[in-house]
Structure 1
Amino acid sequence: MAVAASRTRNPVLLVLILAVTGFVVSARRSDAPWAHSFTAFLKLGLLVIGVRVVLQALLSTRSQGNTVLFTLPQIPLPDWAAGVKLGGQVTAEALVTALYDGGQLAVMLCCVGAANALASPRRLLKSLPGALYEMGVACVVALTFAPQLVTDGRRVRAARRLRGRTRASFRTTAMPVLEGALDRSVELAAAMDSRGYGRTAQAPRAQRRITALCVLLGLLGILLGVYALLTDSMVFPLAAGALAVGVLLAVAAMAIGRQRVSRTRYRPDPWALPEWLVVAAGAVAAGAMVTAAVLGVNGLLLAGPLVVPPVPVLPVVGVLIGLAPALAAPPLKKAVA
């Protein structure tokens, strides 16, 4: 869904993506601590939109439109900043453009928040390829920090209400929240280390270096290919080639790396038809949007900020298929303490 949102600034499609994502989260969210992080990402998205609109109002120029809404006091700047202005006339075109740009980034953040709310970091880490075992501890801290931050924030606010302190204070709540979230993440990483996660078997030094090199080049190729496909900074054959080479190198590194990592398969997660349907729904939504962008379907990018947004059929159908995980996802499991 985040890939689909990155391909359009049409507010109709962005709102539809957000609605589909929110519906799936509300339908499949468990009672785990990380399941409440979607609301925090929604608030972060609103903050992004507000900051984007305010900055555009302060820095907008008449070249971005002629429909003047109001005029702010203009602050004179030195000669070396002649191309920048603070204040002055604010146009409707500039504000609407900023609203669409901020909305696109906000929807992408909400899609990331949905992944944090629905996916268990511990179960996700079990599927980490053996070639990436060195990153395991860092991944645990990174994946669990944001959900634990939200959980500790709710706990601190509840404790303050029990003490009769109804007014929120950033100074008295920020440090306990940050400290608690970081401590929980570090404790999980230490527990993994004590259980021998990522314990390596005997492997030649040359094999380890080849694996690390393949991982690095593969990740660079994947990042370059995905960035080029999403931003149209390269021609399609070159971007697709970079992505394909990166995937091949990453697969080769995983195949080599799994030979030197000892890992048990205790309680393996099943991968059956529901899991494939969930993956296919996300791939279809992203593929429909990318295909529409390649074919030049009208409606992904607006002709002007004040025009009525059209509703392209192909992207809408692709996004609506993203509702499938709400019904096809595996049954919910109780959170493990």
Structure 2
Amino acid sequence: MRKPYGPVHPGAWWLWSLGLGTAATRTTNPLLLALLIAAAGYVVATHRTAAPWARSYAAFAKLALAVLVIRLVFAVVLGSPVPGTHVIATLPEVPLPHWAQGIRLGGRVTAEALVFALYDGLKLATLLICVGAANALANPARLLKSLPGALHETGVAVVVALTFAPNLIADVQRLRAARRLRGRPDHGIRGLLQVGLPVLEGALERSVALAASMDARGYGRSVEVSASVRRTTAALTLGGLLGVCVGTYGLLTADGGTYGLPVLLVSVAAALAGLRLGGRRSPRTRYRPDSWNARAWLVAASGVAVAALLALAGARDPAALHPGVVPLTAPGLPLWPAAAELLALVPAFVAPKAPKTPEAPKEPS
């Protein structure tokens, strides 16, 4: 018997994470950004499974840390436009030609410049962690089943690309463990060469098996549609995607807030209409499709609510969400934006926790 409440729809996890990422772009307050990171990390820690794609969160966290370090290194080496009076160190300055005016190598390193670089890098690091949370929580195979027919072929390519690296890492770990059990070396150039050949052989076998299964299921076959439908589909899809880019840019900038949301809504409607028309060329069926239930609505709505409330807070009190560095002062924690970010924890209470290991089949009574 089918359970009344299955796993949360993968699209809901992506909407939740994109909402948190949008909220991260609205502030440079390190306390608010740290709260977003903590909320996303808690939900991932309590709801991710043992699947290969769920292990990608650690890689995104390391990438976010690397981005933060690189931003600080650039601020030290290349300088910063932020003026400062608290000099930490003075590096040897390299003279540059006249055509490179505005760029500096070395020179004074101020505390104000480092704090500004820290705020800026932490914003991008938070965005990467939010995207990593979606990769760890959303099953890519189930997400592919939910795509419209017009994007099925593109979705298959994306899913294969996303699952290749985790499977490759799992194969390397399995072979290295087997070599250690046999008393053979698994480190160094020799161990890498002896592990690499079986890994590549396994990847080739999976590729051949995937191609055979896709061909058996009629992948790539399409039906004929009229020329007018093809032209209308192309116009709606292309125009809608371009409008989505323009509307998103308007939402992310302070000057485009008036036209960003209307353009984005109209463009999304046009793109969805184009995708629906394009789906006529690739008819397909879904086995047990994922339902968008009340839990999916709550998960998606929590991320959207965090983004909307942070945008409202930025419009009403921009100084609280963007603390200054000149003069150098400790950032404060605005109460109601921080309370709004706590809505990101809603999936931790409404989404069902997936089992870490497959359950053993029960004996019939």
Which TM-score applies when normalising by structure 2? 0.81
- 2:347 matched residue in structure 1: 325
Identity rate, percent: 46
Q: How many residues align?
A: 335
**Distance between the aligned counterparts of 2:106 and 2:290, measured in 1?**
57
- Residue 30 of structure 1 deviates from its aligned partner by 0.5
- 2:12 matched residue in structure 1: none
**Distance between the aligned counterparts of 1:215 and 1:254, measured in 2?**
7
Against the structure 1 CA distance between its residues 16 and 186, is the aligned structure 2 distance closer, same or farther, given a 3 Å change threshold?
Answer: farther
**Distance between the aligned counterparts of 1:184 and 1:294, measured in 2?**
55
Could you list the structure 1 runs, at least 4 aligned residues long, displaced by more than 3 angstroms after superposition: 145-169, 171-194, 333-336
Question: Any idea what SS the aligned residue of 1:94 has?
Answer: helix
**Distance between the aligned counterparts of 2:194 and 2:325, measured in 1?**
44
Superposed, which structure 2 residues align to 1:175-186 within 5 Å?
Answer: none
Moved more, 17-26 or 127-136: 127-136
- 1:229 matched residue in structure 2: 251
- 2:49 matched residue in structure 1: 30
Contact kept? 1:225, 1:239, Cα under 8 Å: yes
Q: Where does structure 2 lack aligned partners over 5 or more consecutive residues? A: 1-19, 359-365
**Distance between the aligned counterparts of 1:47 and 1:177, measured in 2?**
31
Question: Any idea what SS the aligned residue of 2:131 has?
Answer: helix
**Distance between the aligned counterparts of 2:249 and 2:60, measured in 1?**
23
Give the partner amino acid of 1:330. Answer: P
- Residue 293 of structure 1 deviates from its aligned partner by 1.8
- Residue 303 of structure 1 deviates from its aligned partner by 2.3
Contact kept? 1:12, 1:311, Cα under 8 Å: yes
**Distance between the aligned counterparts of 2:87 and 2:25, measured in 1?**
29
- 2:135 matched residue in structure 1: 116
Root mean square deviation of aligned Cα: 3.2
Structure 1 residue 279 and structure 2 residue 313: aligned? no
**Distance between the aligned counterparts of 1:281 and 1:128, measured in 2?**
22
Contact kept? 1:77, 1:85, Cα under 8 Å: yes
Cα deviation per residue 1:138-173 (whole Å; 9 max; x = unaligned)? 32234334544654565576567664445799x879
Contact kept? 1:288, 1:314, Cα under 8 Å: no
Match among 215, 220, 238 for residue 216 of structure 1: 238
Give the partner amino acid of 1:253. Answer: G
- Residue 37 of structure 1 deviates from its aligned partner by 0.6
Cα deviation per residue 1:203-228 (whole Å; 9 max; x = unaligned)? 11321232122111111111211121
Give the partner amino acid of 2:41. Answer: G
Against the structure 1 CA distance between its residues 180 and 319, is the aligned structure 2 distance closer, same or farther, given a 3 Å change threshold?
Answer: farther
**Distance between the aligned counterparts of 2:202 and 2:135, measured in 1?**
15
Against the structure 1 CA distance between its residues 68 and 322, is the aligned structure 2 distance closer, same or farther, given a 3 Å change threshold?
Answer: same
- 2:16 matched residue in structure 1: none
Larger Rg over CA atoms: 2
- 1:248 matched residue in structure 2: 269
- 1:40 matched residue in structure 2: 59
Question: Any idea what SS the aligned residue of 1:132 has?
Answer: helix
- 1:269 matched residue in structure 2: 290
Question: Any idea what SS the aligned residue of 1:89 has?
Answer: strand
**Distance between the aligned counterparts of 2:180 and 2:92, measured in 1?**
42
- Residue 14 of structure 1 deviates from its aligned partner by 0.7
- 1:13 matched residue in structure 2: 32
Q: Where does structure 1 lack aligned partners over 5 or more consecutive residues? A: none
Question: Any idea what SS the aligned residue of 1:303 has?
Answer: coil
Cα deviation per residue 1:288-316 (whole Å; 9 max; x = unaligned)? 11221233354111122632212122321
Structure 1 residue 316 and structure 2 residue 338: aligned? yes
Cα deviation per residue 1:184-212 (whole Å; 9 max; x = unaligned)? 99568634454234542331132123212
Moved more, 193-202 or 153-162: 153-162
Structure 1 residue 51 and structure 2 residue 70: aligned? yes
Contact kept? 1:53, 1:95, Cα under 8 Å: yes
**Distance between the aligned counterparts of 1:91 and 1:180, measured in 2?**
53
Structure 1 residue 290 and structure 2 residue 311: aligned? yes
Contact kept? 2:247, 2:262, Cα under 8 Å: yes
- Residue 265 of structure 1 deviates from its aligned partner by 2.1
**Distance between the aligned counterparts of 1:154 and 1:265, measured in 2?**
34
Cα deviation per residue 1:104-154 (whole Å; 9 max; x = unaligned)? 111110111111111111100111112323423332234334544654565
- Residue 67 of structure 1 deviates from its aligned partner by 0.9
- 1:3 matched residue in structure 2: 22
Contact kept? 1:136, 1:198, Cα under 8 Å: no
Give the partner amino acid of 1:279. Answer: A
Q: Which has the higher contact order (CA 8 A, sep 6+)?
A: 2
**Distance between the aligned counterparts of 2:104 and 2:179, measured in 1?**
44
- Residue 34 of structure 1 deviates from its aligned partner by 0.6
Moved more, 314-323 or 105-114: 314-323
- 1:69 matched residue in structure 2: 88
